[in-house]
Amino acid sequence: MTLRPVRPADRDRVLEITRDVWEGRDYLPEVFDAWVADPGSAFQAAEVEGEVVGVQRLRPIAPGIALYEGLRVAATHRRRGIARSMLRQAVEQARSLGLRQVRLYTGNEVAGRLFASEGFRPVTVCAVWSAGRMEGDDLPRLAGPGEAAALASRLRQEPSMAGSFEAYRGVNPDWNAVLDVDATLLERLAGEGRVRLGPGGRALALLRAEPRSRLAATFVAGSGAGLQELMAGLRFEADGRGLRGVAALVPERHPGIEDLRQVGYDLADDEGRAYVYALDL
């Protein structure tokens, strides 16, 4: 198996490889052109006897940190150690670039076994909690970028928020970039209109960019009445924006699980889980 950069001409083959992934709903076909054109990351194809049998990408997301993403091996070539060998080469590359950590997000528990056996540590595992849209006026407040520093310190210090922060291990499990939830991230997301607050700023939700059918919260902090008000507010917001409802990624040990239930959220067991792993180099 050899690795080389993915080229625009590989498009059809890569689409073929991803056809059976996530029941045909793989995001890779949508991002293929942007990934090929991105000079800042390594989008690589694995070749066996001149044929592309897999792809992967290593992308810097923060100083010293890269995200490993887009690992796919053709169904015809699985269980032959190809993914393992691709991953090892990506990790070597990250090391040679002087990076200090590789992170990844996956919805595939089986792939998690591969990462764990290559030394990645599980950072957080989140389930999907979902609720339908609901009519209501009490919309959650949007945080402004100027509030980021205060929110970041409250997340670490205020007992009602610190428990949730710890359950996420301090990272935002967004598949697009698993970043530390710090003042820098909060400032950027607030600038993009993606931070929602509960009463008194004692509950917080980070939203995914461009919701498809549901409002998606990747990180939810707080507990008690404040969290309940915020999560109910997200259902109202979904209604106002013509979305089907809300889906929130929540770790098992989150202190606000009972509050989510109180305001109509259910554990969507059939939607799988989100696993975040990290490897310190």
Ligand X SMILES: CC(C)(COP(=O)(O)OP(=O)(O)OC[C@H]1O[C@@H](n2cnc3c(N)ncnc32)[C@H](O)[C@@H]1OP(=O)(O)O)[C@@H](O)C(=O)NCCC(=O)NCCS
In the 3-class helix/strand/coil scheme, how is 11-51 assigned residue by residue?
A: HHHHHHHHCCHHHHCCCHHHHHHHHHHCCCCEEEEEEECCE
Question: Smallest gap, in angstroms, from Cβ of residue 137 to ligand X?
Answer: 41
274's CB contacts (< 8 A; 6+ apart) are 105, 106, 107, 125, 126, 128, 173, 175, 249
Nearer to ligand X, 88 or 100 (CB): 88
Site string for ligand X, 71-90 (x = CB under 6 A): xxx----xxxxxxx------
Question: Smallest gap, in angstroms, from Cβ of residue 56 to ligand X?
Answer: 9
Question: Smallest gap, in angstroms, from Cβ of residue 10 to ligand X?
Answer: 16
φ and ψ at residue 140, rounded to 5 degrees: -65, 150
Residues contacting ligand X: total by CB under 6 A: 18
CB 97 within 8 A of CB 42: no
Question: Smallest gap, in angstroms, from Cβ of residue 114 to ligand X?
Answer: 3
Nearer to ligand X, 82 or 149 (CB): 82
197's CB contacts (< 8 A; 6+ apart) are 140, 141, 142, 143, 151, 203, 204, 230
Please pick, from the candidates 4, 7, 19, 113, the single residue that binds ligand X as defined by CB under 6 A: 113
Strand-pair partners of 67: 59, 103
Nearer to ligand X, 37 or 110 (CB): 110
Question: Smallest gap, in angstroms, from Cβ of residue 77 to ligand X?
Answer: 7
Q: Which segment (3-11, 36-44, 106-114, 119-127) binds ligand X by CB under 6 A? A: 106-114
Tell the burial category of 129 from Cβ atoms under 10 Å away from its Cβ (0-12, 13-18, 19+).
buried
CB 255 within 8 A of CB 163: yes
Please pick, from the candidates 93, 108, 176, 184, the single residue that binds ligand X as defined by CB under 6 A: 108
Contacts of ligand X in 20-79 (CB under 6 A): 21, 71-73, 78-79
Contacts of ligand X in 215-234 (CB under 6 A): none
Question: Smallest gap, in angstroms, from Cβ of residue 64 to ligand X?
Answer: 21
φ and ψ at residue 8, rounded to 5 degrees: -55, -35
| Interface with ligand X (CB under 6 A) | 21, 71-73, 78-84, 106, 108, 110-111, 113-114, 117
